[in-house]
Chain A
Amino acid sequence: MKTSTNFLLKTGTTTLLALTFFTLSAFSVKSQIYIGDKSTISFFSATKMENIDAVNSVSRPVLNTKTGAFAIQASQNAFIFKSAFMQEHYNENYVESEKFPFATFKGKINETIDYTVNGKTNVTITGDLDMHGVKKPRTITGVVEVKDGSILMSSKFDVKVSDHDIKVPSLYIEKIAEVIQVSFNAELFPMKK
């Protein structure tokens, strides 16, 4: 009798412990992954002759709050221009989206942030910007704001067209800026599974 109770108790405790551990670990790891459902990446090219801008609002950034790892992949085809003509040229002649369909950034936030407390932090992210088949190591500044369980990220940075081997024919040099201003805004929520 005594042994059997002991046995039951023992098994029960193990089960409970294991279950708790299992759910806890799963929960805690899950809650450290944040995914952006609402995000916009836009870029702006300003010259005396012409201003060109485009918006991509379907990219989904991912942030691991525990490690600070951050990644985003933007489909080149999903950049929407005011003029359909420019959009075609962007894909066909400049970024060659058939060959290089995505622009990606993968990096790590250098600062440690307490994601349990509301507040804004100025951050730097170091990583690789991969576009048009050319990977460039970059450190980009931005702002991370923790707001009631969601994380707001924003950043403005420049991309030099020639850094990514994107050739602008001499005919258009006056119409397309050498340095493109990119701005990024996203609201990230804990990942649901």
Chain B
Amino acid sequence: METKSIMIVGVGGQGSLLASRIIGNVLLEQGYDVKLSEVHGMSQRGGSVVTYVKYGDKVYSPVVQKGEADIIISFEQLEAARYVEFLKKGGHIVTSTQSIDPMPVITGAAVYPEDVIGKLRAKDIDVTAVDALTLAEQAGTAKASNVVLMGVVSKKMDFDRSVWEKALENCVPAKFLELNKKAFELGEQAAV
């Protein structure tokens, strides 16, 4: 099988590491060779962060480059716009509708573009946009928006639901499992 690439993008602190670990767990369970690449250190501090997930028969580079991603999962609209050039032709974007102003916008040095999702769709890209933050709050905490998005993504990937459930159990502390299962379910429902 040709190597497939997923990018998880967002703002430092939004929980992209957990998301990549859940997907990695699912892919490992399916018997693929898997590589994940993470960002640590300074860029974590509220900066734009990106995590790569690659899988297939044999994966070499852990990094995804422009024009290579099959799916981009974005925790924040502007980040979907920033990384859209990494998307392969015919690829999917799954994004939260959340928007967080970056510092140059806060200081007035730059403008946050309007209707980001509409403009991405106008490029003939399949964009699934969900209000992951509100759904996560419904599940019990804003912090679970990463898991809501995993629920959405599970509908874009062809793996059995039980594998996702098992991955959640492996990656989430037991005391938060029920809450995260709920968040995942809300994501699944929102994807339809």
Q: Bound pair: A and B? A: no
- B-side residues, CB < 8 A to A, are none
